[in-house]
Amino acid sequence: MKKILLLVLSLTLTACATSPTGRSQLMLISPESAIVESKKAYLSTVDELDKENKLVSDPQMVDRVATITGRLVTVAEESFPQSANWEWSVAIIDDPETVNAWCMAGGRMAVYTGLFEKLKLTDDEFAQIMGHEISHALANHTAERMSRSMATSLGVIAVGVASDHHGATALGAAAAAKLALELPNSRTAESEADEIGMRLATLAGYEPDAAVTLWQKMAKAGGSAPPQFLSTHPAPGNREANLAAMIPAMRQLNSSGRMAEVTPVDIVR
C-alpha cells in the first residue's frame, strides 16, 4: 500500500498541464487519450439514445442548433487550432424535462430539448450555453474530470503508472470518460468556461449580454429542484456580476457584431 501511495504522489506531482487562462491543471490522463475515450463513450451513449428513439431530427430544430453551433466552432478552430481536427457533432436529445447540455473532449456534444422548452432560449442565450460547453472541451476540463474520477481508485492509478506514465491506461479510462459527464466541474473550471465561452459567442456574432440573462433564467428554472445543468455546473459566487463585468471588454472584440461563418457540424440522427 505504501508503494502505491508513493506512486500516486509521484504521478500527481508530475502530471500537470496549463489551462488557457494560465491555471495549473492536474492531468492523470492526457487530453489526447481523453478524446479517444470520450469518442467511445459518446458513440455508446448515442447508440442507446437511437434505440430509444430519443434523437431529434426535426428540420427546424436541427438547422437552429447546427447554425449556432457551427458559428461557435468556426471561432473555436481559429482561436484553438488544435481543435480543427476534432469530429464536431451534436446529438439533440428529445427530453423536455431535462435542462442540460454538454461537450466531451474532441467536440462531441449533446443538447436536451428541455433547454428550449423550459428556458425559452433566444439564439444569443443558446450560443452562450454552447460556447460555455465547447470551452470546457477546449480547456481540457474533460481530461481533468476524468483524472479526478480515476484518482478515486488507487489501484487504477497504480496500474496506470506501471503501464503508462502519462496515465492513458485503457483500464479505468473508458469508465472515467462516461463518469466525467456526471461529475461537477470545479468552480475555477466554471469561471474559465464562462470567460472563454462568452468570448467565443461574442466573436461568433452573438450578444454578450445574453450570458447574464441566461443565468438569470437558469437560476429561476425548476424552483426547489434546480436543472440538471446546475448539478454539473456549480455556480461560482457572484456569477451574474462577474459575467456582467466582462461585457464591455467582450463588446470590443466584435464591435460590429459580425456573424462568423458556419462550419459544418454533424447532427446525430
Residues belonging to the active site:
133
Strand-pairing partners, residue 103, are 109
The answer to whether 139 and 174 are in contact (CB under 8 A) is no
Q: Sign of the C-alpha dihedral, residues 34, 37, 38, 39?
A: positive
Please answer whether residues 200 and 208 qualify as being in contact, where contact means their C-beta atoms are separated by less than 8 angstroms.
Answer: no
Relative to beta strand 89-93, strand 108-112 is parallel
Task: State the cell numbers at 234.
Answer: 456549480
DSSP label of 80? -
Q: What phi and psi values does residue 181 have, to the nearest 5 degrees? A: -70, -25
